[in-house]
Structure 1
Amino acid sequence: MEELVYEQLNESVYRETMDNGLQVFLLSKPEMAKTFGIFTTNYGSIDQTFTPIGKNEEVTVPEGIAHFLEHKLFEKEDRDVFQDFTKLGASANAFTSFTKTAYLFTATSQIEKNVETLLDFVQDPYFSKESVDKEKGIIAQEIRMYDDQPDWRSFFGTIQSMYEKHPVKVDIAGTVDSIQEITKDDLYTCYETFYHPSNMVLFVAGNIKPEEMMDQIRTNQTKKEFKEIPDIQRSYPEESKAVAKAEDSITMPVTTAKAMVGVKEDVSSLKGEDLLCAELLSGMILDFYFSKSGAFYEELYQADLIDDSFQFETELDRQFGFTILGGDSRKPDELAKRLKEMLHSLKEQKISEEDFSRMKRKKIGQFMRALNSLEFIANQFTHYHTLGVDLFDVLPVIESLTTSDVDQYVEHWIKEERISVFQVKPQTNE
């Protein structure tokens, strides 16, 4: 077991790679009453085309299967795993993203048994035709529920306007039609390929004793047999750097239109710290101009183009990246036009040393406050780890950023061919 010491933050993380390849990270926080554990596989909704373990030919599985698999792992032949955690006084959950699937629990007691339960249920799949067919109806309802939510439709509609072929354009849950194609065999194929310990990370943070916890995890994994597997071969379609559609829209029963502007990010050359720097810079620049204290926000608000629903976000990951900003507007066409103009003007908007110093202090403050959350640490540490970045290196990276970095980033950031506008328009009675 190796101890990683971060003197600047006064933190230590204990790390060990099990014989089967599972990477384990432990963060001891004895002052905390609770403990948070998260077991993550480097597998998400975009991983639709791959070469199954033990096979030579590539396959493409139905859209939404990663999310479907997440649901099914909680159901065993004789019980529902949520009840196991409840009996141990824990709250359990799971989520699927574009690139990851994670299983987690929070508890204040019986931590060892909860960790054991987390490991055992994820590493012991049970799928039957009957249970798979039953789940299709449940997930179809979930999909229809999201299809009725304007915010969700505007978010994914913007992504779909940017991406033509890449599976990031597909709703993480899939479609009502695509999940009907999922079979028990499909689930086992995906599980056996992506749920091998060598493709997974376990992070436990909270009131734990690292040596005892690591011994327990080591013993748990030693009892199980996992064949060695080669590197997973994933495949993604070639995607243009330009957006698929410069403009697109749908109609829904809303009283106020939504206007969203999407920037299709070019992450093809970004790895590790470079990806982190791009994520930090885009976030800081957007916050400086478009947060409620920003000059652009004030201008849009005074022009009655936005309200409190206005938001922005950047997501950069392996294989894809996007920035989305917008919200409700009574003048959606004008809002979209002004947002595009503002983004293009960033090259001329020079941020002073004083302003950038203030931006860095704000970002550092947000990061330090977030480190008070076990959930944030465990989730983000795992996320960055899969991208080749250490969460606790984020602080020195923020401190190292300069206005020259901002100028260089902005120079190559906003290009017309990578901008898309998506609107949710009110239905008319015509």
Structure 2
Amino acid sequence: MLTKQTYARLGEAVYRTTLANGLKVVLVPKQGFHKTFAIMTTDYGSVDNHFVPRGQTEPVRFPDGIAHFLEHKLFEKQDHDAFDLFGKYGASANAFTSFTQTSYLFATTSQLRANLEILLDFVQDPYFTPATVNKEKGIIGQEIQMYDVDPGWQSYFGMIGNLYPKEPLHIDIAGTVDSIDKITADNLYAAYQTFYHPSNMDLVVVGDLDPEQTLAWIEANQARKTFAPVTPLKRIASPQTAPDQVVAHTTKSLTVVRPKVSLGLRGYDTVPTGREGLRYNVAVSLAFDLLFNDTSDNYLRLYDANVIDDSFGYDFVTQRGAHFGQLATDTDQPELFVAEMQAILAAVPQQLQAAQPQFDLVKREAIGRLIGAINSPEAIANQYSGPLFAGSTLFDELAILEALRFEDPETLATAFFAQSQSTVATILPKG
């Protein structure tokens, strides 16, 4: 049975249910929209390489990159490729793996039921052989080698590696050429059977749909299949990097015209769980806006001094087991950029107080971006939080943002910055 949550002011509604096999289904009707977007996600990503496989009692450490490798291999079946089926029914499909999740998705303007069947069937029907696994190693190996010389990717993962040197987060999501060479078909089946159980997955569908009819299609599909009983997942946590073990600075030379600098901040403050975790993320992200967006005093001053340019960007990320911030730019003055950023971060309480007159404007800008995203089925589906923020949606995020007062980002961000550990990863031109 579907439960309905209404967001009256927005004229939106979200329908939810959990099937008998544990699959969580979220349906968001957008009447009159031409495109419908669906995404199926498992709570399993690149950091989950040490766990007790389903049906076993002892933990096993699997090769780095196995979650990403599994994502690639699920599309290929014994006699067809799932991409071809989506194309036959007019849908575009894709997939991606993050640190903590793997998602499979499609967008379509017609044939919703047929494409939903394809999505559910190919994700829930693994087919791996030694021959197909070995073939994929060459393909993914080329992808890894491409990212090894990508300056932006290396700057980002250099920063991540410095912040989390003792945890799986420091390893590239795709793994290494050596690590994927160790992956076997049996490894893939073990990971699949452990993490791709419906009880560890979400299906979100957003677009021109009838909730009851769409649920009936999904239920009929799942009723034709047999799944193992639900059992608890047993992930083996890695020892946490102590604050004094965060790497202060690394440098790498690549083919770039100008230096790239990424300053990272690892949070050691306590992040709330559930919906309060989303509120924490929204509040600290708003503090980053106050300090660094393109109307802030800091941005304008550093831009005018040619310390930063239009390449400057920042982000704050909260996910299972980690939260961190990033400040990055291309600059001819990398040392000065780092010094300026560190000076700002050393005086966050005073900096935020100075920026308080801009709070309402910055908040309205953030609200405007979210309202724009609400008109995108893809954004609504991709922003669904799953287990991280207790199934919150973009509509919940908007409500949280609207309710924030200046004291909220001030308090939470001050705690984050005060307890964070920083690092710098620099990419310099060769020679």
TM-score normalised per structure 1: 0.96
- Report the equivalent of 1:355: 358
User: Any idea what SS the aligned residue of 2:9 has?
Assistant: coil
* Contact kept in structure 1, 2:290 and 2:296, CA below 8 Å: yes
**Among 269, 272, 294, which residue is 1:270 paired with?**
272
The share of aligned pairs that are identical, in percent, is: 42
Output one character per residue of 1:316-359: Cα deviation in whole Å (capped at 9) or x when no partner.
11101111112111111111111111111211120565422222
* Contact kept in structure 1, 2:276 and 2:389, CA below 8 Å: no
Query: Structure 2 CA distance, aligned partners of 1:281 and 1:141?
Result: 40
Moved over 6 A (4+): none
Output one character per residue of 1:25-83: Cα deviation in whole Å (capped at 9) or x when no partner.
11111211111111111111111111111111111111110000000000001111100
- Report the equivalent of 2:284: 282
Please tell me the residue identity of whatever aligns with 1:418: Q
Please tell me the residue identity of whatever aligns with 1:427: K
Output one character per residue of 1:227-260: Cα deviation in whole Å (capped at 9) or x when no partner.
1121111122121352521111111121211111
- Report the equivalent of 2:300: 298
Output one character per residue of 1:154-197: Cα deviation in whole Å (capped at 9) or x when no partner.
00000111112111111111111110010000000000000000
**Count of residue correspondences:** 427
* Contact kept in structure 2, 1:53 and 1:229, CA below 8 Å: no
- Counting only pairs closer than 5 Å after superposition, residues 415-430 of structure 1 correspond to structure 2 as 415=418, 418-428=421-431
Query: Structure 1 CA distance, aligned partners of 2:386 and 2:278?
Result: 9
- Between stretches 405-414 and 357-366, larger displacement belongs to 405-414
Query: Structure 2 CA distance, aligned partners of 1:341 and 1:352?
Result: 16
Query: Structure 1 CA distance, aligned partners of 2:126 and 2:229?
Result: 18
- Counting only pairs closer than 5 Å after superposition, residues 369-408 of structure 1 correspond to structure 2 as 369-381=372-384, 383-391=385-393, 392-408=395-411
Query: Structure 2 CA distance, aligned partners of 1:352 and 1:187?
Result: 51
Residues 1:123 and 2:124 aligned together: yes
Query: Structure 1 CA distance, aligned partners of 2:269 and 2:45?
Result: 18
Query: Structure 2 CA distance, aligned partners of 1:47 and 1:28?
Result: 33
* Contact kept in structure 2, 1:52 and 1:59, CA below 8 Å: yes
Distance change (3 Å), C-alpha of 1:188 and 1:47:
same
Query: Structure 2 CA distance, aligned partners of 1:248 and 1:415?
Result: 23
**Among 411, 414, 424, which residue is 1:411 paired with?**
414
Query: Structure 2 CA distance, aligned partners of 1:100 and 1:273?
Result: 19
**Among 289, 314, 334, which residue is 2:336 paired with?**
334
**Among 345, 365, 369, which residue is 1:366 paired with?**
369
- Report the equivalent of 1:237: 238
**Among 258, 261, 264, which residue is 1:259 paired with?**
261
- Between stretches 232-241 and 162-171, larger displacement belongs to 232-241
Deviation of residue 268 (structure 1)?
4.5
Distance change (3 Å), C-alpha of 1:93 and 1:287:
same
Query: Structure 2 CA distance, aligned partners of 1:151 and 1:363?
Result: 26
- Report the equivalent of 2:33: 32
Output one character per residue of 1:302-325: Cα deviation in whole Å (capped at 9) or x when no partner.
221112111111111110111111
Distance change (3 Å), C-alpha of 1:172 and 1:303:
same
- Counting only pairs closer than 5 Å after superposition, residues 79-228 of structure 1 correspond to structure 2 as 79-228=80-229
Distance change (3 Å), C-alpha of 1:185 and 1:198:
same
* Contact kept in structure 2, 1:267 and 1:316, CA below 8 Å: no
- Between stretches 263-272 and 284-293, larger displacement belongs to 263-272
Query: Structure 2 CA distance, aligned partners of 1:266 and 1:244?
Result: 11
Please tell me the residue identity of whatever aligns with 2:172: D
Deviation of residue 385 (structure 1)?
4.6
Query: Structure 1 CA distance, aligned partners of 2:314 and 2:217?
Result: 43
Distance change (3 Å), C-alpha of 1:16 and 1:411:
closer
Please tell me the residue identity of whatever aligns with 1:136: K
* Contact kept in structure 1, 2:265 and 2:420, CA below 8 Å: no
Distance change (3 Å), C-alpha of 1:257 and 1:247:
same
Deviation of residue 403 (structure 1)?
2.0
Please tell me the residue identity of whatever aligns with 1:364: I
Distance change (3 Å), C-alpha of 1:164 and 1:415:
farther
Unaligned runs of at least 5 residues, structure 2: none
- Between stretches 158-167 and 119-128, larger displacement belongs to 158-167
Please tell me the residue identity of whatever aligns with 2:19: M
* Contact kept in structure 1, 2:246 and 2:422, CA below 8 Å: no
Please tell me the residue identity of whatever aligns with 1:86: G
* Contact kept in structure 1, 2:95 and 2:102, CA below 8 Å: yes
* Contact kept in structure 1, 2:287 and 2:410, CA below 8 Å: no
Please tell me the residue identity of whatever aligns with 2:329: G
- Between stretches 199-208 and 391-400, larger displacement belongs to 391-400
Query: Structure 2 CA distance, aligned partners of 1:306 and 1:172?
Result: 29
User: Any idea what SS the aligned residue of 1:293 has?
Assistant: coil
- Between stretches 129-138 and 347-356, larger displacement belongs to 347-356
Query: Structure 2 CA distance, aligned partners of 1:236 and 1:50?
Result: 9
Query: Structure 2 CA distance, aligned partners of 1:274 and 1:154?
Result: 31
User: Any idea what SS the aligned residue of 2:117 has?
Assistant: helix
* Contact kept in structure 1, 2:274 and 2:390, CA below 8 Å: yes
Query: Structure 2 CA distance, aligned partners of 1:377 and 1:330?
Result: 39
- Report the equivalent of 1:22: 23
Distance change (3 Å), C-alpha of 1:377 and 1:267:
farther
Deviation of residue 410 (structure 1)?
3.3
Query: Structure 1 CA distance, aligned partners of 2:114 and 2:195?
Result: 25
Query: Structure 1 CA distance, aligned partners of 2:409 and 2:120?
Result: 43
- Between stretches 215-224 and 282-291, larger displacement belongs to 282-291
**Among 317, 320, 323, which residue is 1:321 paired with?**
323
